[in-house]
Amino acid sequence: MRPASAPPAGAVLDAVCRSVAQLAGAAPHPPRRIRMQDGQTTVEVEWPDPVHTALAPADDSPTADRESGAPESGQPDLLTYIRAPMVGTFYHASTPDAQPYVSVGDVVQPGQPVGVLEAMKMMSAITADTGGRVVEMVAPNAHPVEFDQQLIALEPVDVDTVDHS
């Protein structure tokens, strides 16, 4: 029997979920990983390190090509990929009846929203780390994705010289 002063079952977890959603929404970048636990209430939120990500050296080894999904033709892959920062469901638009954030052929700027990732009933905007022209929507709309999965393929373009009219 539960003591009279104890909150209803799940109320603590609901409150924690709301707090984590507010925290994630206020951050400049979506979290890389969120872990929650109901018994003894545990919350872990991990954000990607923007300095480490931006300064990571390129690895031209065949292993790196296979892991990144690049063709093994010996030609360097000039595409960059917007990747999932966490496990969830990737959506191309903010609502089912809205236009997608981006489509094949669009030029995106760094920091531009390109989709939404739903994880544990929380919606997080996915933004482009780098600019480029969208050449493929790798992850289908409204499908589950894994952490670091390729979502959108970009070819490099000088985003400052592209006509946006």
The per-residue pLDDT for range 50-77, each reduced to its tens digit, is 554 444 444 444 433 434 444 444 434 6
In this prediction, residue 108 has a pLDDT band, given cuts at 50, 70 and 90, of very high
Per-residue pLDDT at 109:
94
Cα 104 from Cα 48, distance rounded (Å): 27
Between 153 and 27, residue with greater pLDDT: 153
CATH class of domain segment(s) 11-155: mainly beta
Cα 72 from Cα 11, distance rounded (Å): 51
CA separation (Å) from 138 to 76, 141, 151, 165? 19, 9, 5, 26
| Phi, then psi, of 95 in degrees rounded to 5 | -140, 160
Domains of the chain by residue range = 11-155
Phi-psi region of 112 (alpha: psi -120 to 50; beta: other; left: phi over 0): beta
Per-residue pLDDT at 46:
74
Residues in the chain: 165
Query: In this predicted model, what pLDDT tens digit does every residue of 8-45 receive, in sequence order?
Result: 656 766 777 777 777 776 666 677 777 777 676 677 77
Cα 153 from Cα 77, distance rounded (Å): 11
Between 133 and 58, residue with greater pLDDT: 133
| Phi, then psi, of 127 in degrees rounded to 5 | -120, 155
Phi-psi region of 123 (alpha: psi -120 to 50; beta: other; left: phi over 0): beta
